């Protein structure tokens, strides 16, 4: 029997959460250390998983299957392919950096880390689940801790409103998708929730056309698809730093990933039928998100809307249904996850010191916080899609794919790159250069060494992927091939 | 002539009766006591009965015993275990309840009500069924009004009695119609409905059952009674008593008008409409409640609606999922009422706003509230999630997608008010006070009961396979 690495990855945060919950509340340092150890453990495992994934063999690997409820065809069926492996690594990275960034939380750190790890467990579960029922199970687990994390530790002004809005949106999306999943289960006649078997169900085209949209959009709500993106910037802003990182870095990928896995892979005919609509919605995401980001004065809102814009690129890539577009989308999920995590970490560090996130009020941060400044610029370059950074590796193929399908859409969507460059550069100039306002002097203390580790890791990953696309692109391609096979070798 | 299966069929009831007599005797013997002795005796006795009957009273095949008065089958077995479990937890909650826990009568009434519920779940004859319902109801009327010095409790008792008597009368009239036209009271033998008779019977019996499980528009008693009755009793009323109503509902309607019979569509359609109204009304009205007991009263109205979705899908999957739903719901709602009982015992208030800062005042109680309310919402990894998925799955399978959609829209409304309560518990602070200076000590019975329930909710939510198999084996007796 081989080492069940996937279930260990899923359950290690859970075990960490349980240990933390049992510790006495006043032992804050010990709680943080246990949290960090759990996160390191998960990171090492996910890195190991990434490195030992066999790109040549491709397909689903590290498969584990345990019967959970045979009479209903539910099993704990786990496995990763070329698309989900990078996402597991991403989750490990964000979990690790998130714990580091949250070191300073003083209000009930025990509950905070426990809820955060419960969330992480759910996220890992969705990425590796090959059983539709389990996918929903983990998906909901990933959603509800968000409410508490935002409502309790969030930004005082908007947290109650934003937390409730976010939860309601995501819950509605997921239950709509759930009905679709149940319809698939009964329509297939196989009596199983196993997605590898449901893939072969050959649902009738009518069935697929009816159910693709609820399933895809239900999940894509979490991916921030227009016009259901509204919860996301509010949620980002209200959440505490580590939760923003998780939320924009990983959770939004969860939506996109599930929309791909359940929507496109199980209902390929429906996907072909509705692809033009998704293409248009995603284009609106990309362009509209970028425009709205440009007029924001709050740094966190700006990044929130830029996430909407970048996640639009992921959906755009999926909707092309071409090898280039989908590979780009796969890489973009990883690249954007790392990039937003970095952005939110940096903004969190600035806010903790300056107590404002208003771009016009900030300035001259480069001298006081050089680490934050340099890494933020790296993130900015990724965001703009500069060659040599991961953003280019991801966005270029997406636009190539879109061009193959609908050149005019590509032309439209490319505008976003210009706008992105505009708002990112404006923000960098105003926040990091120029004169530092008088009132900040003396307040801007240097960041701690562990913070540098987090920022360094995140920006290092983006540069590494930009310089050596070979460390990820072939893997994603192997996953995309499988999706295209289901689409009929398009 | 007695056979061993006849004894086994009523073994839980016999044991409950014995326990009741024991409590009665010890109530007289133990003159000086701290008030908890009888509670521990009841709870321990119920645990013993639960374990013993779980092993011994499990039927191998379905059969009718005592001249067709009772059915000895899995449906009855599963529900009986559920009622005994509910009574056990309730007796733990009762122990530290003022003017309730130190009185022997309250435990005896609880045990008698449990016997009645057990018989409700296994009755196979209309006469037996009616007797069982009354055996359950009369002790519950008294328990609801048990706090004689409390105006609200007295009002609750009286209101429950009046509404209950009314509903029983209407149902009895339905039974008399059946007997008058078909000449028999044995459920299995009743056939040959004419259309007017079927309409009359369906409506009359439905009124009676709808009262028991608080379906709209027969739910008006629920909020007042739930608010006024002692909190542990409210918990029992909203869980075990409701589950018993569902057992009767399934036995009666699936027995009289089974799948494929000519009137099956008629009653399922009526019930589908009732389920829609009940879910919507319960959830929407719960939104505006400021008293936690009233909020949970409306929420339990809504939950009856969800469970009904499984019944109307009229399939083995449907009945199995209703049974599973009820198992999960009984545990969840008991936990919710347990939290409220423990809280109001110290704080003396049931207003939601007074729950501010509760998680800081007692960390464990906060976690128990979290588990219970998230399970009510239908979030994994708690029991409520799987229960809801299966009920909606049954509706989708029966091509009643609209009903599943209604249910889902409603669970979103539910999400809102459950989360609002959790927000008060976790996020809000006591005004101008330091929470650490106002801890909420949890006495041992509460701690045990809440720990058992939280674990059980988590357990059936994660390892749901075996539980669902038990629940669906209950369905096999009906198809």
Q: Could you say which of B363, B401, B412 has the minimum Cβ distance to residue A25?
A: B363
Distance CA A219, CA A375 (A): 32
Q: Look at B432 and B248; give whichever has higher pLDDT.
A: B248
Both tokens of A432, joined, read 């990091």
Q: Which span out of A27-31, A319-323, B347-351, B451-455 was modeled with the highest average pLDDT?
A: B451-455
For B409-454, the DSSP string reads HHHHHHHHHHHHHHHHHHT---TTS-GGGS-----HHHHHHHHHHH
Q: State residue A414's pLDDT score.
A: 86
A484 pLDDT band (50/70/90 cuts)?
A: confident
> Count of alpha carbons within 13 Å of A406, Cβ hemisphere only?
17
B61-112 per-position pLDDT tens digit: 888 888 888 888 888 999 999 999 999 999 999 988 888 877 888 999 999 9
A interface with B, Cβ–Cβ below 8 Å = 21, 25, 67-72, 74, 111, 133, 136-138, 140-141, 144, 147-148, 151-152, 160, 163-164, 167-168, 171-172, 175-176, 178-179, 182-183, 185-186
Q: State residue A490's pLDDT score.
A: 46
Query: How far is A444 from chain B, CA to nearest CA, in Å?
Result: 30
Binding-face residues of B in 331-370 toward A, CB within 8 A = 359, 363, 367
User: Chain B: residue nearest A191 by CA?
Assistant: B397
B262 pLDDT band (50/70/90 cuts)?
A: confident
- Asked if pLDDT for residue B450 goes beyond 90, the answer is yes
> Interface pTM (ipTM) of the complex?
0.85
Write out chain A residues lying below 8 Å of B465, CB-based: 67-72, 74
Among the residue ranges B119-133, B138-152, B346-360, the one predicted with the least confidence is: B346-360
Mutation pick from B361, B395, B415 vs chain A, by most beta carbons of A within 10 Å, is B415
A1 pLDDT band (50/70/90 cuts)?
A: low
Polymer length in residues for chain A: 490
Write out chain A residues lying below 8 Å of B469, CB-based: 69, 71
For A302-360, the DSSP string reads HHHHHHHHHHHHHHHHHHH-SHHHHHHHHHHHHHHHHHHHHHHHHHHHHHHHHS--BGG
Mutation pick from A14, A118, A182 vs chain B, by most beta carbons of B within 10 Å, is A182
- Asked if pLDDT for residue B181 goes beyond 80, the answer is yes
Answer for the pair A178, B409: CB distance below 8 angstroms, yes or no. Answer: no
Q: State residue A82's pLDDT score.
A: 87
Q: What angle do CA B329, B331, B335 make, to 5 degrees?
A: 110
Q: What angle do CA B280, B286, B289 make, to 5 degrees?
A: 155
Average pLDDT over every residue of B121-138: 93
On whether any CB of chain A is under 8 Å from the CB of B287, the answer is no
Q: State residue B35's pLDDT score.
A: 66
Query: How far is B62 from chain A, CA to nearest CA, in Å?
Result: 22
Write out chain B residues lying below 8 Å of A72, CB-based: 465, 468
Answer for the pair A477, A327: CB distance below 8 angstroms, yes or no. Answer: yes
Write out chain B residues lying below 8 Å of A144, CB-based: 374, 377, 379
Q: What angle do CA A355, A361, A364 make, to 5 degrees?
A: 90
Q: What is the DSSP letter of A296?
A: -
Distance CA B105, CA B114 (A): 14
A202-221 per-position pLDDT tens digit: 888 888 888 888 899 889 88
> How many other CB atoms sit within 10 Å of the CB of residue A452?
15
Write out chain A residues lying below 8 Å of B392, CB-based: 178-179, 182
Query: How far is B380 from chain A, CA to nearest CA, in Å?
Result: 6
Average pLDDT over every residue of A430-448: 79
- Asked if pLDDT for residue B399 goes beyond 80, the answer is yes
B458-473 per-position pLDDT tens digit: 999 888 888 888 888 8
Mean pLDDT of chain A: 87
Average pLDDT over every residue of A101-107: 81
Q: What is the dihedral of CA A55, A60, A64, A68, to 10 degrees?
A: 160
Q: State residue B231's pLDDT score.
A: 92
On whether any CB of chain A is under 8 Å from the CB of B380, the answer is yes
Q: State residue A222's pLDDT score.
A: 86
Query: How far is A182 from chain B, CA to nearest CA, in Å?
Result: 6
Q: State residue A87's pLDDT score.
A: 92
User: Chain B: residue nearest A24 by CA?
Assistant: B363
Q: State residue B242's pLDDT score.
A: 92
B316: helix, coil or strand? Answer: helix
Write out chain B residues lying below 8 Å of A179, CB-based: 392, 396, 401, 404-405, 408
Query: How far is A124 from chain B, CA to nearest CA, in Å?
Result: 15
User: Chain B: residue nearest A75 by CA?
Assistant: B465
On whether any CB of chain A is under 8 Å from the CB of B376, the answer is no
Q: What angle do CA A257, A209, A394 make, to 5 degrees?
A: 30
User: Chain B: residue nearest A178 by CA?
Assistant: B389
């Amino acid at each position: 029997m081989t080492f069940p690495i996937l279930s260990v990855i899923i359950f290690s945060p859970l075990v960490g959460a349980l240990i933390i919950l049992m510790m006495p509340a006043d032992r804050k340092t010990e709680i943080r250390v246990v949290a960090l150890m759990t996160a390191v453990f998960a990171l090492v495992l996910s890195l190991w998983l990434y490195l030992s994934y066999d790109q040549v063999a491709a397909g689903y690997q590290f498969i584990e299957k345990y019967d959970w409820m045979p009479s209903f065809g539910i099993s704990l069926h786990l496995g990763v392919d070329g698309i989900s492996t990078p996402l597991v690594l991403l989750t490990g990275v964000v979990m690790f950096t998130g714990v580091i960034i949250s070191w300073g939380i003083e209000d009930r750190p025990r509950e905070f880390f426990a809820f955060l790890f419960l969330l992480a467990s759910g996220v890992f579960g969705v990425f590796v689940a090959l059983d539709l029922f389990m996918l929903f199970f983990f998906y909901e687990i990933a959603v509800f801790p968000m409410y508490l994390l935002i409502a309790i530790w969030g930004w005082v002004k908007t947290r109650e409103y934003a937390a409730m809005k976010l939860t309601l949106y995501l819950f509605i999306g997921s239950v709509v998708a759930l009905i679709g999943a149940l319809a698939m289960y009964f329509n297939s006649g196989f009596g199983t929730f196993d997605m590898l078997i449901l893939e072969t169900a050959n649902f009738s085209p009518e069935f697929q056309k009816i159910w693709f949209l609820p399933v895809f959009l239900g999940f894509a709500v979490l991916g921030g698809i227009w016009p259901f993106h509204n919860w996301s910037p509010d949620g980002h802003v209200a959440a505490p730093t580590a939760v923003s990182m998780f939320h924009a870095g990983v959770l939004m990928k969860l939506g996109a990933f599930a929309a791909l896995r359940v929507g496109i892979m199980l209902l390929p005919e429906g996907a072909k039928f509705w692809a033009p609509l998704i293409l248009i919605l995603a284009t609106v995401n990309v362009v509209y998100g970028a425009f709205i980001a440009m007029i924001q004065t709050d740094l966190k809102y700006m990044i929130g809307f830029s996430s909407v814009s970048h996640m639009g690129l992921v959906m755009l890539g999926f909707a092309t249904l071409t090898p280039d577009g989908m590979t780009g989308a796969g890489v973009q999920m990883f690249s954007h996850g790392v990039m937003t995590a970095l952005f939110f970490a940096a903004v969190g560090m600035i806010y903790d010191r300056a107590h404002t996130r208003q771009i016009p009020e900030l300035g001259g941060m480069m001298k006081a916080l050089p680490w934050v400044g340099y890494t933020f610029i790296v993130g900015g370059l990724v965001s703009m899609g500069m060659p040599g950074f991961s953003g280019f590796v991801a966005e270029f193929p997406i636009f190539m794919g879109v061009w193959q399908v609908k050149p005019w859409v590509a032309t439209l969507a490319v505008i976003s790159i210009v706008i992105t460059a505009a708002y990112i550069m404006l923000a960098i100039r105003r926040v990091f250069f120029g004169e530092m306002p008088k009132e900040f002097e003396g307040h801007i203390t240097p960041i701690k060494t562990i913070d540098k580790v987090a920022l360094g890791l995140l920006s290092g990953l983006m540069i590494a992927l930009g310089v050596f696309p070979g460390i990820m692109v072939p893997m994603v391609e192997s996953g995309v091939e499988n999706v295209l096979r289901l689409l009929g070798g398009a | 002539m007695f056979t061993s299966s006849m004894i086994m069929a009523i073994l839980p009831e016999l044991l409950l009766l014995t326990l009741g007599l024991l409590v009665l005797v010890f109530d007289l013997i133990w003159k000086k006591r701290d008030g908890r002795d009888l509670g521990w005796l009841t709870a321990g006795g119920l645990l013993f009965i639960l374990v013993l009957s779980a092993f011994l009273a499990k039927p191998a095949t379905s059969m009718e015993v005592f001249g067709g008065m009772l059915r000895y089958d899995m449906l009855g077995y599963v529900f009986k275990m559920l009622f005994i479990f509910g009574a056990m937890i309730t007796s733990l909650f009762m122990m530290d309840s003022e003017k309730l826990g130190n009185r022997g009568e309250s435990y005896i009434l609880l045990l008698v009500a449990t016997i009645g519920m057990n018989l409700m779940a296994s009755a196979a004859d209309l006469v037996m069924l009616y007797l069982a319902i009354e055996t359950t109801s009369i002790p519950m009327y008294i328990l609801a009004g048990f706090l004689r010095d409390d105006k609200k409790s007295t009002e609750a008792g009286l209101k429950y009695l009046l509404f209950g008597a009314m509903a029983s009368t209407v149902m009895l009239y339905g039974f008399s119609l059946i007997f008058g036209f078909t000449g028999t009271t044995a459920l299995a033998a009743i056939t040959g409905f004419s259309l007017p008779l079927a309409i009359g019977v369906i409506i009359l019996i439905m009124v009676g059952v709808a009262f028991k499980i608080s379906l709209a528009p027969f739910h008006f008693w629920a909020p007042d009674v739930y608010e006024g009755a002692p909190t542990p009793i409210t918990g029992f009323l909203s869980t075990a008593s409701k589950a018993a109503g569902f057992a009767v509902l399934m036995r009666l309607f699936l027995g009289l008008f089974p799948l494929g019979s000519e009137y099956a569509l008629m009653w399922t359609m009526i019930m589908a409409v009732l389920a829609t109204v009940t879910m919507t009304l319960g959830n929407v009205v719960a939104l505006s409640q400021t008293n936690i007991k009233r909020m949970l009263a409306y929420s339990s109205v809504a939950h009856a609606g969800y469970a009904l979705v499984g019944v109307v899908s009229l399939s083995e999957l449907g009945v199995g999922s209703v049974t599973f739903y009820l198992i999960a719901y009984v545990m969840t709602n008991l936990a919710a009422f347990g939290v409220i009982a423990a809280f109001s015992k110290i704080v003396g208030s049931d207003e939601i706003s007074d729950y501010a800062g509760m998680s800081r005042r007692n960390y464990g109680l906060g976690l128990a509230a979290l588990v219970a309310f998230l399970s009510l919402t239908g979030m994994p990894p708690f029991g409520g999630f799987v229960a809801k998925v299966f009920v909606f799955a049954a509706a989708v399978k029966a091509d009643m997608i609209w009903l599943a959609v209604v249910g889902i829209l409603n669970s979103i409304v539910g999400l809102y008010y459950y989360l609002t309560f959790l927000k008060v518990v976790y996020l809000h602070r006591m005004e101008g006070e330091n929470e650490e200076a106002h801890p909420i000590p949890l006495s041992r019975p509460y701690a045990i009961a809440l720990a058992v329930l939280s674990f059980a909710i988590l357990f059936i939510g994660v390892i749901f396979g075996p539980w669902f198999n038990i629940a669906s084996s209950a369905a096999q007796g009906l198809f």
